[in-house]
Chain A
Amino acid sequence: MNPTSPSRTEEASQLALAAQTALAAGDTDRARDLHRAAGDLLLSGISRLRKRSEQDSLRFLAATQYYLAGSFSRAQQVCRKIEERYLADSDRRPFREFRQRVNEQATAGYDDKIRNSLKSLWEGNDHRRILELLAENPYVLSRSDLAFFRAICCEQLHDYRGAALFFADALKWGANDPDMLGHSVAAAIMMTYERRLAEAELYLNHLLELVPHALTFAAASILRLYQAKAARNDDQRRSLMREQLRLCESAGAAFSDLPETQSQSPSSRAWMVLCLECASFAALGLGDRQKALGFSDRALVLAPSKSGPYTSRGTISYPSRQAVEDFLSAERLGEKSYISCYYLAHDALTRNEFRDAEQWCGKALRRSPGIKIKAQLYEWLAICRAEAHSDPNEIRTLFHLAKDLDPKNPRIEQNYSLFESSLSISQPNQERPGWEEIVPQPPDPLQEQDDLVSAYALPDSKIAFEMHSKFVGRVTRQAA
């Protein structure tokens, strides 16, 4: 029953228990080492045993430890030395089953088979089964990839505490992977973007507690802007925006402390830039234009070749020459939102450059603006066409489109009336109607916040899932 000295089996028991504890904590590196050490310790006692039955019993124990360490070949070697007939009756059937399992898993290609299964299960959205398969085969991935895979599966299963716990593990063990920081907050940011604010807050609270890195603060800061927009009253709104700025400052401070590999990661920089852009809106909402410009400038330092920060700074400093330059820079850098075109159209209109204005309006309309912005753009187009003496029916149609989209806008109504009355005066060199402040006020970023902020967020709400799928692709390719 007790084939080797008590101290040796006690020590092996200690090691095996510690290995199981490490495995349960997801620390497969430690679990592997401890199980191997337990196996080695047990085998080292064999020479002291005289009876073959005792030796083989001990080998069975040791082989089990190697198997639990994921050292299937080593377990197989030890099993080959065991003769079943020397084992106790009670051990013979378990040994046969064990040996068969060892032989299966020691086969070349076993790990690839598991990785392929993981990939298929991911593609089939069977996240629960992935977690089970990883629990059954914990050594098939590195411990940081294992933790990361578990985190994104928990995320998909809406277990946000579990997700945060595993992200914390993944970052602890895989701090050199620069993309992990960005991955860990992608889903929470997308929840914010999709207005699942309560869910995003729940998740981010777990992340803030367990993974308080620069991008967690950044994600929480972005969330506050959306919460402010949904606030019941002005006090609450302002309080949330102040909290947003505080979190943005924490994010900035933590970001500057990140190792260069992490701070240079594209996903990390993208989230940090988005955070700064959102903070500039909040500062503006709190009446601090200088601070707003400061956030935009910081975003530009982080992403000088990206269009977003130029658009953001232009929005805040408009109307100004610098703002127009910023919008033009944004366009040169491939801005995809309607915002820069919208402001450039406004600028052209105010300078009576109606052809330019018409072009910018057309571009902006093709970039899916929100309803009120769209109404304005149709109104401006109507004005441009009126100035170009286009077909009145065409102009009338554009005004009607604008009025239908924003029926309560008195300015559109007024401009339409001016247009209709101008038609009754039929003179060859008629003067322009006195358009009612065509674009009357520069667009208010707070009023247009939904549109503006959404335009800065990534356009594809499946981005988190796609980022995660890239990770799954990488880790399931490794051994192939």
Chain B
Amino acid sequence: MDELLDVGHIELDNPIRMATPEDLPAPPGPIVLELRSLEQRHPVLGKSLLECFGASVVYRLSHAPVKLSDDSVSRMVSVDRRPPGTVTPFEQRVTIEWNSSAMTRDQAIRFGYTLPNDRITENAAIGVMCLLINELEGASVSKVLQRGAGGDYLISLPDGSEVQVEVSGISVDSTGREARKRLSEKSAQVLTAADRGFASVTTFSHRSDEAAHSYLHHVVRPASAQESRMQTGPNDKPRRR
């Protein structure tokens, strides 16, 4: 697992007791996420999410940058999690499967040509995020709209609240540095618009072992910054320190 991340100006200043990984209920066994389950996991947009991002997920997990054998139907993803209420990220492994999905090899081949490379990576990262955030955080996606070059992804949490997720994908990162840097940027970015949110960065060939890796971090603005924000309003000058 990665060492503790330096996320720059972000501080976890949560007044409640910080949970540790041990506090979380242990998963009953290896987590297997079937791609097609996106449809059920996200009641509002599930079908569209599957159609739009499913083939990109298959493409990035099995065709490029790491080519699996043609009959491969799953790939393990190492998730670096920091759920709400925790301070120390920890590793969790999940397996993403596409054996019963409708994502055919032909669709994946087509995607390799019809979409720009960075779009495929971003789409695949969104697909992975949608699986992970539902499985691990119980959240469902309620809005997916692009704004300029970036995404605007809003999720509903089990308590009914809505928060933003900043998502990013990296095709190859042989040292892991780019992914850490991107996580830092996305964590900062999500907090420019709200006091808390998620940052998700998925790398499809991570470090020298070319593993699939995903950061899924819940980030919270420090309490002091929240107070300052309440005084100055949302559209005033930057709140970054």
Contacts and interface: CB of A to CB of B under 8 A. Distances in A.
Contacts of A64: 145-148
A150 B48 CA distance: 26
Interface in A86-137: 86-91, 94-95, 97-98, 131-132, 134-136
A137 to B, nearest CB: 10
A57 to B, nearest CB: 8
A6 B155 CA distance: 12
Nearest to B49: A17
A62 to B, nearest CB: 9
A65 B148 CA distance: 9
Contact of A165 (B109, B144, B192): B109
Contacts of A23: 114-115
Interface stretch (B89-97, B198-206, B231-239): B231-239
Nearest to A131: B113
Interface string A14-28: 101110110111100
B230 to A, nearest CB: 16
Interface in A1-43: 1-2, 6, 9-10, 12-14, 16-18, 20-21, 23-26, 38, 42
A6 to B, nearest CB: 7
- Give the size range of A's interface with the partner: 35 or more
Given A26-B114, A64-B145, A88 B48 contact: no
A309 interface: no
Contacts of B194: 1
Given A64-B147, A162-B110, A165-B110, A2 B154 contact: yes
A138 B111 CA distance: 13
A14 B45 contact: yes
Contacts of A87: 235
B113 A154 contact: yes
Given A14-B48, A135-B114, A20 B109 contact: no
Nearest to A135: B116
A26 B48 CA distance: 17
Contacts of A159: 109
A61 interface: yes
A186 interface: no
A132 B110 contact: no
B129 interface: no
B5 interface: no
Contacts of B189: 90
B52 interface: yes
B148 A26 contact: no
Given A18-B51, A135-B116, A1 B147 contact: no
Nearest to A153: B113
Contact of A10 (B45, B109, B112, B149): B45
B142 A60 contact: no
Quick one: which of A21, A91, A136 has the most chain B CB within 10 A? Answer: A21
Contacts of B56: 24
Nearest to B110: A165
B110 A24 contact: yes
B159 interface: no
A80 to B, nearest CB: 15
Given A1-B194, A6-B142, A26-B114, A161 B109 contact: yes
B106 A13 contact: no
Return the 10 tightest CB-CB contacts between A and B, nearest first.
A98-B148, A17-B48, A94-B148, A90-B192, A17-B52, A21-B51, A135-B116, A21-B52, A20-B52, A13-B144
Interface of A: 1-2, 6, 9-10, 12-14, 16-18, 20-21, 23-26, 38, 42, 53, 60-61, 64-65, 68, 85-91, 94-95, 97-98, 131-132, 134-136, 138, 150, 154, 159, 161-162, 165-166
20 contacts: A1-B162, A10-B143, A16-B145, A17-B48, A17-B51, A21-B48, A21-B51, A24-B55, A24-B114, A64-B146, A64-B148, A68-B146, A86-B235, A88-B235, A90-B189, A90-B193, A94-B150, A134-B113, A135-B116, A150-B113
Interface of B: 44-45, 48-49, 51-52, 55-56, 106-107, 109-117, 119, 123, 142-150, 152, 154, 162, 164, 189, 192-194, 234-235, 237-239
